[in-house]
Amino acid sequence: MPDSNAVISETSGDEKHGIVGGYVPERADWTIDQNWQAYTAAEHATWKTLFERQIKLVPGRASQAYMDGLKALPITADEIPDFARLSDIMEKRTGWRVVAVPGMVPNDVFFDHLANRRFPAGQFIRKAHQLDYLQEPDVFHDIFGHVPMMMNPVMADFMQAYGEGGKRAEALGLLDNLARLYWYTVEFGLVEEPEGLRIFGAGILSSFTETRFALESQSPNRIGFDLKRVLRTNYRIDEFQEAYFVLPNLDTLLDLANTDFAPVYAAIAGQPDYAPSTLLPDDRVFNHGTGEYHAALAGS
Ligand code: CO
């Protein structure tokens, strides 16, 4: 099972972001102390294993913005990063801080954090025998995957705008649509760079197997980003994506952050959703996927 599964109903429009079973948070914003001193040697060792295999893959595959952010932060193989140390550097650059949460949090709590430039990161790390299986975003996904991009001013503004827009979309009953924008950018986005397509989505960059699949497999569609089209496209939460959307550049996120979604929502109202495998006549196609990977899954 590849680790794409994971990641996430963090944006699925579910009533709750995880933590099932009557968990009662101590604080209204669901934050907890990271309690960095309490990580065990085994947990730091799991981080090191994940870091070392991933750091070999990202050069030449991750976007320049991601590589720049990673280099500027104390994210190393040595240990699970200390959120306070990361935050002090991020805050100077883009005004963001990382706060610890015990798992996924309710949508309204998630949006409120983002709207206030706080990124809620899983405090825990996956088990050593489940390196590629995640039920909820853990510290490796959230820190290695997301945080370097949040050193980029454009992503920083986009994430805040998403938090504000999320509250509005939820009130309008359109969160399922808006969540697809987050999914196909922040989690699984690709971007055109002079040397070729690059990854900036955290769901890919924190996944050993999907980092190669997303860029190099002939199976998935790779399609030029179009806002209305993305808002209508379903996604898979249990497997590699069947489609990846490609931004012409990261500044597109800034345009999106400044977009009035009211007319966009009006334009897609009542329109049917697209399956993730769909290609449309108007799509700008970077790769017309063979679909072989998901066909094999369906047949197995
Ligand atoms: Co994520």
Distance 255 CA to ligand 1 centre (A): 22
Q: What's the CA gap between 247 and 250, in Å, rounded?
A: 7
33-77 confidence digits (pLDDT tens)? 999 999 999 999 999 999 999 999 999 999 999 999 999 999 999
Query: In this model, does residue 11 exceed pLDDT 80?
Result: no
Distance 137 CA to ligand 1 centre (A): 6
Q: Work out the mean pLDDT of the chain and round it to a whole number.
A: 92
Query: In this model, does residue 16 exceed pLDDT 70?
Result: no
Distance 186 CA to ligand 1 centre (A): 7
- 192, β-bridge pairs: 197
Query: In this model, does residue 124 exceed pLDDT 90?
Result: yes
CA nearest neighbour of 40 among 3, 71, 79: 79
Query: In this model, does residue 7 exceed pLDDT 60?
Result: no
Distance 281 CA to ligand 1 centre (A): 31
Residue 22 binned pLDDT confidence (cut-offs 50, 70, 90): low
Distance 135 CA to ligand 1 centre (A): 12
pTM score of the predicted model: 0.91
Query: In this model, does residue 127 exceed pLDDT 60?
Result: yes
Share of the chain above pLDDT 90, in %: 85
Distance 108 CA to ligand 1 centre (A): 16
- Distances in Å between the Cα of 22 and the Cα atoms of 18, 28, 137, 284 are 11, 15, 19, 45
- 3-state secondary structure (DSSP) of residue 83: helix
Q: What is the mean pLDDT of residues 156-177?
A: 94
Distance 288 CA to ligand 1 centre (A): 26
Q: What is the pLDDT of residue 21?
A: 55
Question: Residue 236, Cβ neighbours under 10 Å: how many?
Answer: 16
Whether 228 and 31 have beta carbons less than 8 Å apart is answered as no
Whether 196 and 137 have beta carbons less than 8 Å apart is answered as no
Distance 104 CA to ligand 1 centre (A): 10
Residue 19 binned pLDDT confidence (cut-offs 50, 70, 90): low
Task: State CA 249 to chain mean position distance.
Answer: 17
Q: What is the mean pLDDT of residues 168-196?
A: 95
Q: What is the mean pLDDT of residues 237-254?
A: 96
Distance 199 CA to ligand 1 centre (A): 14
Query: In this model, does residue 2 exceed pLDDT 80?
Result: no
Q: What is the pLDDT of residue 238?
A: 86
184-243 confidence digits (pLDDT tens)? 999 999 999 999 999 999 999 999 999 999 999 999 999 999 999 999 999 998 899 999
Distance 146 CA to ligand 1 centre (A): 7
Distance 261 CA to ligand 1 centre (A): 23
Query: Of the ranges 10-19, 119-128, 138-147, 188-197, which one carries the lowest mean pLDDT score?
Result: 10-19
Enumerate residues with CB within 5 Å of ligand 1 (an ion): 137, 202
